[in-house]
Homo-oligomer: A and B are copies of this chain.
Amino acid sequence: MSGIVSNFELTILGCNSAIQAFGRHPTSQVFSAYNQLYLIDCGEGTQFQLDKFHIKKSRINQIFISHLHGDHYYGLMGLLSSYRLHGRTEPLQVFCPIGTKEIVEVNLKHSKGQFVYPIEFYEIEDKPSHKIFEDKYIEVHTIPLNHKIATTGFLFVEKPRERNFIKEKIEEHQIPNEAINLIKEGNDFIGLDGKVIPYTELTTAPHPQRKYAYCSDTIYDESILPIIQGVDLLYHEATYLHSEELKAQQYWHSTAKQAATIAMKANAQSLMIGHYSSRYDNLDELLNEAKSVFSNSMLAIEGRTTEVSPTAP
């Protein structure tokens, strides 16, 4: 897409729910924006999956953990330990539920170990949605989810970008180099002849802020709609087919139809479903069910990278 030069994409490391099955692993994803890597959830074996898909662990500086069910964090201790063994010196930030730090510290106590690199745990307040992280490129906000235990989704929002300068205007108006950044920031240009040329004539609008919302695990809950409204990509768990609606409710999970309904009501550009129950070998039925409600639906598949784009894939 024109004007978009930096990546904004999602790679699936694990797409299954609680029990691994059919070669599918517990939940983990790498979100990448502007070539920064952010890890979302860290089920058992996440570090093996990172290796398998040739993603450099050392490039991850932030980890986001949604909740303390094992299939979302049992790989965390292994990853943190491997960082130490690999001689990591870069600081690491872990955004996680209350209790995570205690779990890590009890493990460390009994192994008589310590992390040599700086590691900070930011334990997340459950509600309401709030910003927990920002860097030069993105902000991350929490999405309070409705699961058996305290659970938080994550909304990744691209920061507003500057306008795109139209190169052909340099010669036309004899614009000096040092003026270009000012114009991109929204200042008009005054030529040598005193004529004011509006910045809107010299630039095109920046591409819209891209957004990715991660929602796992959760029961069907429309209260998240205002937070995820208009996202380019919504990942929403779809543990069951809708024929298992009662089971989904009993275990605080969603069906493919419900995930698609949330995507539709949130005016998402596209939907990715995942966190499949181990009862499903073939996932086509889950996908078809989602598509019947929201056509721009796709499956989370391990190793696959999906661009988060205002144009649906």
Interface residue ranges, A against B (CB under 8 Å): 18-20, 25, 44-45, 47-48, 51, 68-71, 74-75, 77-78, 81-82, 85-86, 97-100, 102-103, 106-107, 109-113, 148-149
* A103 and B102 form a contact (CB under 8 A): no
Output the least CB separation between A45 and chain B (Å).
5
* A20 and B48 form a contact (CB under 8 A): yes
* A97 and B70 form a contact (CB under 8 A): no
> In the assembly, what is the distance between CA of A106 and CA of B71, in Å?
16
With known contacts A19-B85, A20-B51, A86-B19, A78–B110 Cβ distance under 8 A: no
Residue in chain B with minimal CB distance to A46: B44
* A78 and B70 form a contact (CB under 8 A): yes
Residue in chain B with minimal CB distance to A51: B20
Residue in chain B with minimal CB distance to A110: B99
* A149 and B106 form a contact (CB under 8 A): no
> In the assembly, what is the distance between CA of A81 and CA of B97, in Å?
19
Query: Which residues from B are CB-within-8-Å of A148?
Result: 112
With known contacts A47-B44, A102-B106, A103-B106, A112–B19 Cβ distance under 8 A: no
Residue in chain B with minimal CB distance to A278: B85
> In the assembly, what is the distance between CA of A252 and CA of B20, in Å?
35
Within 8 Å by CB of A45, from B44, B68, B71, B113, lies B44
**Most B CB within 10 A of own CB, among A100, A102, A107:** A107
Query: Which residues from B are CB-within-8-Å of A18?
Result: 81-82, 85
Within 8 Å by CB of A97, from B69, B74, B82, B110, lies B110
> In the assembly, what is the distance between CA of A47 and CA of B45, in Å?
10
Residue in chain B with minimal CB distance to A25: B48
**Most B CB within 10 A of own CB, among A44, A71, A77, A148:** A44
* B107 and A103 form a contact (CB under 8 A): yes
8 shortest interchain CB distances as A-B pairs: A99-B110, A44-B78, A68-B110, A70-B81, A106-B106, A74-B78, A45-B45, A68-B111
With known contacts A45-B44, A45-B48, A110-B103, A70–B74 Cβ distance under 8 A: no
